[in-house]
Structure 1
Amino acid sequence: MTRTITVGLDGSPASVAAADWAAREAQLRDLPLRLVTAWEWRPPAYAPPTGLGAPVPPSDLQRAWARRLLDETRTRIAERRPGLRIDTDEIAGLPVPALLRAAEDAELLALGSRGLSKAAGFLLGSVSLSVLAACGRPVVLVRAAEHGKEEALPEPSARGLSAATGHRDVVLGLDLYKPDDAVTDFAFDAASRRAARLRIVHGWTLPPYYYGGALMPDLNDHMATQVRRELSDVLSPWQEKYPAVEVSTQAAVGGAGHHLVEASHDAALVVVGRRIRRAAVGAHIGPVTQALLHHAAAPVAVISHD
Structure 2
Amino acid sequence: MSNRITVGLDGSGAAGAAADWAAREAELRGDDLELVRAEDWAQYGPFTAPLPEPRHQWAEDLLALTRERLLREHGTLTVSTREIQGAAETALASVAAGADMLVLGSRGLGSVSGFLVGSTGSATIPETETPVVLVRSTDGADRPAAHASDSGPVVLGVDLHSDCDRLLAFACEEADLRACPLVVVHGWSPPPILSYAPALDPGVQTEIADGLAATLRELLSPWEEKYPRLAVDARTVIGQPAIQILDAAAGAALVVVGRRIRRPALGTRIGPITHAVMHHALSPVAVVAHG
Which of 234, 245, 257 is the equivalent residue of 1:249? 234
Aligned length: 283
Q: Could you say if the C-alpha distance between residues 152 and 291 of structure 1 is closer, same or farther in structure 2, counting changes exceeding 3 Å?
A: closer
Deviation at 1:148?
7.0
Does the alignment pair 1:201 with 2:185? yes
Deviation at 1:280?
2.4
For 1:80-114, what per-residue CA distance to the aligned partner results, in whole angstroms no more than 9, with x for missing partners? 11110001001122312211111011101000112
Letter in 1 for 2:13: P
Q: Counterpart in 1 of 2:144?
A: 147
8 Å CA contact 2:242, 2:277 repeated in 1:
yes
8 Å CA contact 1:150, 1:168 repeated in 2:
no
Deviation at 1:244?
0.6
Does the alignment pair 1:271 with 2:268? no
8 Å CA contact 1:170, 1:198 repeated in 2:
yes
Q: Could you say if the C-alpha distance between residues 197 and 270 of structure 1 is closer, same or farther in structure 2, counting changes exceeding 3 Å?
A: same
> Relative to structure 2, which stretch is displaced further, 245-254 or 277-286?
277-286
Q: Counterpart in 1 of 2:36?
A: 36
Q: Counterpart in 2 of 1:259?
A: 244
The equivalences for 1:1-306 within 5 A come to: 2-40=2-40, 42-43=42-43, 59-119=52-112, 121-145=114-138, 147=144, 167-211=151-195, 213-306=198-291
Indicate the SS of the match to 2:187: strand
Aligned-residue Cα RMSD (Å) equals 2.3
Deviation at 1:149?
5.5
8 Å CA contact 2:250, 2:282 repeated in 1:
yes
Counterpart-to-counterpart distance in 2, 1:92 and 1:228 = 48
Letter in 2 for 1:180: C
Letter in 1 for 2:183: R
Q: Could you say if the C-alpha distance between residues 203 and 2 of structure 1 is closer, same or farther in structure 2, counting changes exceeding 3 Å?
A: closer
Letter in 2 for 1:211: S
Deviation at 1:179?
3.1
Deviation at 1:289?
0.4
- Alignment gaps of 5+ in structure 2: none
Letter in 1 for 2:58: W
Deviation at 1:150?
9.1
8 Å CA contact 2:254, 2:284 repeated in 1:
yes
8 Å CA contact 1:139, 1:301 repeated in 2:
yes
Letter in 2 for 1:29: R
- Alignment gaps of 5+ in structure 1: 46-56, 154-166
